[in-house]
Amino acid sequence: MNKGILCIIGRPNVGKSTLFNRIVGKKIAITEDQPGVTRDRIYSEGEWLGNHFTVIDTGGLEPEKEDTIMSNIQKQAQVAIETADVILFVVDGIEGLTSTDREIANILRKSGNEVILAVNKIDNPKNGSDVYEFYELGFGEPMIISSEQGLGIGDLLDEVVKYFPKEIMDSEEDDLIKVTLIGKPNVGKSSLINNILGEERVIVTNIPGTTRDAIDSYFKYEENEYVFIDTAGLRRKRSIDENIERYSVIRTLTAIDRADICILVIDALEGVTEQDTKIAGYAHDNGKAMIIAINKWDLVEKENLTYREFEKSIRETLGFMTYAPIVFISALTGQRVPKLMDLLNIVNNNYSLRISTGVLNDIINQAVLMNQPPSEKGRRCKIYYGTQASVRPPTFIIFINDKELMHFSYERYLENQIRTHFGFSGTPIKLEFRQKG
């Protein structure tokens, strides 16, 4: 599923974070247990009428020391313009229109993005008539809200969800396999994209009427149609200051949200960084398929074992995704890029693989015979049967007598048994236990 992205923007103190908290509710961001990546509540999940989306409070991005309010807002606006499907521009109904509001409006108007204007702090609906001055900003009729009182939020979200990319969810674009390249700056992501799109074996065309991103990043390889997510930013390099870690992290996370398959690009000379591990963990937790590409392999002095040593150290660092295939490439020379593309096809097949209920239960029964499920205080965990509920990633529901009795280690064991038979290379698989009887 492709999640929409909402960015909240506005000058300080207009109530952006109050609104953000209103929209994401009391619900704790799913990413919050990953310290460092998205611990700060500037990035969270929201839901309205069945639409799941990502909310970003650009105001929560820390300014750099030398930033003035305006230069900081410009950076925030740029994040919003590059990432959002719809921008929520918040102004302060008590303070009224200010020159900073006008400047933000100018930037947003030029961008051509979809913008919804919200006049906040109208705690008493009777004062709604005071908002006429805001028409001047040129975004039509402002939505009147009070983030603190929770007024007008429903109407606002009704408006917001209209702009989310529904057509991507249920149109022909859904057949496109979405791929995102992740990895630190200068690891060779743009070079790799250019190399792949320049391959003779791929067909690169523009698909009319599709999203911004699709335009310069679509390719067809054998039977599969792919699109690189967030390529625009990468290829043009026009992007915001990549030195500001936070900005690039947000972009990366949103690109992962939208992707089916992630290619984690690692610099052969530097190995896996801490940030790589965190980002890979995010992709894993969100059920994305994964290929690990060790780039700049041409620069490595090779001895017989280099390969395996490298592989071993990566397997250790990224122990939670042993399913991800590793390929040693050079985006510069094109070495093994065709192999990477074959892997894309293979991983995509595995990501969508379905096992019949009969075969799955044969595997489960055999697994249980070889190694009994855990027991506690004389009660043994009983597995009744399993069935595959969905794909992308493959998700299995397994009915058991008591969820309390299932252990993580046994889950691992079952997963490994399924993998022994079907491989599922490149894709996480999920086991969900349900209690029955």
Please report where in the chains the tokens 């149109």 appear, as a residue: 171
Please provide the size of the chain in residues: 437
Spatial distance between the Cα atoms of 252 and 61, rounded to a whole number of angstroms: 15
Q: Is 213 annotated as a binding residue?
A: no
**DSSP for residue 146:** B
Give least dist CB 206 to ligand GDP, A. Answer: 22
Q: Contact between 12 and ligand GDP (CB under 6 A)? A: yes
- Name which position in 169, 207, 244, 332 contacts ligand GDP (CB under 6 A): 332
- Measure CA of the first residue to CA of the last residue in the chain; give whole Å: 33
Q: Tell whether 122 is in a known binding site.
A: yes
The minimum distance between CB 184 and ligand GDP, in angstroms, equals: 7
Shortest spacing between CB 339 and ligand GDP, in angstroms: 14
- Per CB under 6 A, the list member of 46, 188, 386, 394 interacting with ligand GDP is 188
Residue from 3, 75, 189, 251 in contact with ligand GDP (CB under 6 A): 189
* Interface pick for ligand GDP out of 106, 186, 371, 387 (rule CB under 6 A): 186
Structural contact between residues 143 and 159, judged by C-beta atoms closer than 8 angstroms: yes
Site string for ligand GDP, 48-87 (x = CB under 6 A): -----------x----------------------------
Q: What is the residue-wise DSSP string for 322-341?
A: TTS-EEE--TTT-TTHHHHH
Report how far Cα 282 is from the mean position of its chain's Cα atoms: 8
Q: Mask of contacts with ligand GDP, 128-157, x by CB under 6 A? A: ------------------xxx---------
Cα separation, 93 vs 85, whole angstroms: 25
Distances (CA, A) of 196 to 1, 176, 338, 339, 435: 25, 16, 8, 11, 47
Q: Per the annotation, does 15 bind a ligand?
A: yes
Q: Which residue lies nearer to ligand GDP by CB, 288 or 296?
A: 296
Q: Which residue has the tokens 């236990």?
A: 433
Residue listed under structure tokens 């908290």 = 21
Known binding positions for GTP: 10-17, 57-61, 120-123, 183-190, 230-234, 295-298
Binding site for ligand GDP (CB under 6 A): 10, 12-18, 59, 120-121, 123, 146-148, 185-191, 234, 295-296, 298-299, 330-332
